[in-house]
Amino acid sequence: MSKTNPNELFKKAEEDFNRASQELYRPAEDVVSYSACVFSRRSLYRYLYGLAMLYAEENNVMLEPSLTIEQLITFCSKYNKNLNEIDFSSLYCKCNDMLKDGEEEIIHCTSVDKVAYCADLAENVREIVSEKLK
């Protein structure tokens, strides 16, 4: 993912966030939790990775090529104290970026509440990204 620039990641993150939001807008019994989970996770990952790229560039730091969501949270939290105020404790997805075609693992939450929590996390990070880009 290192060849992608932050603005491309943020654009893709926004698309994924919107898709997750649309899925979660449905009545609970109609939500396809797999889709909502994957789109929420991708959105969260892309927002965090793009943010990490910005902080790495600003601070002349090299990013590892394959960071987990948890590692991205830790990295970005060093440069943005607002991330420390977000409760990531119930984030069950500690997996690596699974955005490569044909390599995505089947790791997802089936509970609408858990998926909504992940989407809320993505929205919180999205707001931090928005503030950073102003």
pLDDT for the residue 107: 61
DSSP H helices, 26-111, are 33-58, 69-79
Three-state DSSP class for residue 99: coil
Q: Mean pLDDT per 10-residue run, the chain (134 residues)?
A: 80 95 84 84 94 95 86 94 90 53 53 82 95 90
34 found inside a domain: yes
108 found inside a domain: yes
pLDDT for the residue 114: 78
118 found inside a domain: yes
1 found inside a domain: no
Distance from chain centroid for Cα 99: 11
pLDDT for the residue 108: 61
Question: Residue-wise over 23-58: b if at least 16 C-beta within 10 A, else e?
Answer: bbeeeeeebebebbbbbbbbbbbbbbbbbbbbbbee
Chain position carrying tokens 């109609």 = 30
Say which CATH number the domain at 41 has.
1.20.120
pTM of the model: 0.85
Range of the domain at 87: 6-133
64 found inside a domain: yes
Q: How many domains does the chain have?
A: 1
